[in-house]
Amino acid sequence: MGSHSLHESGHGTSRQFAAAQQPRRFGSKAPLGDARMNADRRDTATPVGLGLRALKGGAVVVGVAVEGGEPRVVLSTFLATGAEGDRLSLEPYHVAAELKRDPQGRASAEAAAAVAEGRRRQDQLAAKGLHAVVRALEDARCKPVVAALLVNRAGWITDLLEYSVSWPEHVPVAEGLAVRDALRFAFKEYRVEVAELDEKSLPELAANTLDTSSMAIDARLKALGATVGRPWRKEQKLACLSAWLAITMQR
């Protein structure tokens, strides 16, 4: 299993990579059983949508089920794409930006190799983290049927390395895009259906899809946070809303 913290996902990277913990689940845990019992549990499992909001070092993940038209949070965690003490997996583009450029002022072969290795580690950590999330949901008699990945409008960037070394302010952007790519790798590995939702237009999409006001949605997200506990900041609310939308649109 990949190590990932469930607390303080938005501030303080060291807290994200604190002692390894299991994802927090909200609901009863199924008893252990034989292969037939486990198969029966999968057949009767509650469908869940996963919402993911990328941050440096990983992503906030919130799992939402909709029962009787009402959303319920069944899981809230942090999926790590970086390992504590491993800068290549945590910030490969920062590492590359610190390396000497080639004679033409572009990223060197050493920088390209560093990024490639860092991205490989991120992909593997994301896959392990997603595996842990899926197992936690299965233990709670739930199954992920769709994932919503929050994105922005930076899809035009095709060469993250050259983009990141051209200006210092580009580096954090490249790191966030790399985390999203690692999550896409994990989804593909586990054949999870993915809906990519634009973060800026999410509130409008939610109001139209759920046929309710933004004020009512905000109040519902606040109430859901009370059932989960901290952290429940902007990142968790966005992930929750995207999961709520994804599972609703699939029903």
pTM: 0.81
> What average pLDDT does the segment 67-72 reach?
93
CA distance 124 to 24: 22
> What average pLDDT does the segment 207-220 reach?
95
3 pLDDT exceeds 90? no
Q: Looking at 30-44, 71-85, 125-139, which range is the least confident one?
A: 30-44
8 vs 138, higher pLDDT: 138
191 pLDDT exceeds 80? yes
CA distance 82 to 179: 9
- The continuous run of DSSP H or E covering 66 comes out as strand 58-67
Taking phi over 0 as left and psi of -120 to 50 as alpha, with beta for the rest, 12 belongs to: left
> What average pLDDT does the segment 231-236 reach?
96
26 vs 232, higher pLDDT: 232
Q: 140-170, pLDDT tens digit by residue?
A: 999 999 999 999 876 667 788 877 777 777 8
In sequence order, the 6+-apart residues with CB closer than 8 A to the CB of 36 are none
Instruction: State percent of the chain over pLDDT 70.
Output: 82
> What average pLDDT does the segment 171-190 reach?
94
9 pLDDT exceeds 90? no
CA distance 48 to 24: 15
Predicted local confidence at residue 24, as pLDDT: 57
Domains of the chain: 13-250 (3.30.420.10)
45 vs 2, higher pLDDT: 45
- The continuous run of DSSP H or E covering 238 comes out as helix 234-250
